[in-house]
Amino acid sequence: MTGLVVALTYVLQAVGVCGLGWGAVIALRAREW
């Protein structure tokens, strides 16, 4: 059970980092346009 919680935490962190990365890319693209 604890392992599952840890795994979910890592997944959420990875998704959050990817989301921030995409947000930065989209922001830069929008600024160029």
Residue with tokens 């979910």: 8
Strands (E), 1-33: none
Instruction: Give the per-residue pLDDT at 32.
Output: 81
- DSSP 3-state percent helix, strand, coil across the chain (nearest 5): 95, 0, 5
Give CA angle at 17 (33, 3), nearest 5°. 160
Give the CA radius of gyration of the chain: 14
Residue with tokens 């989301």: 19
pLDDT tens string 1-33: 799 999 999 999 999 998 999 999 999 999 887
For the chain, the first-to-last Cα distance in angstroms comes to 48
Instruction: Give the per-residue pLDDT at 12.
Output: 94
Instruction: Give the per-residue pLDDT at 1.
Output: 76
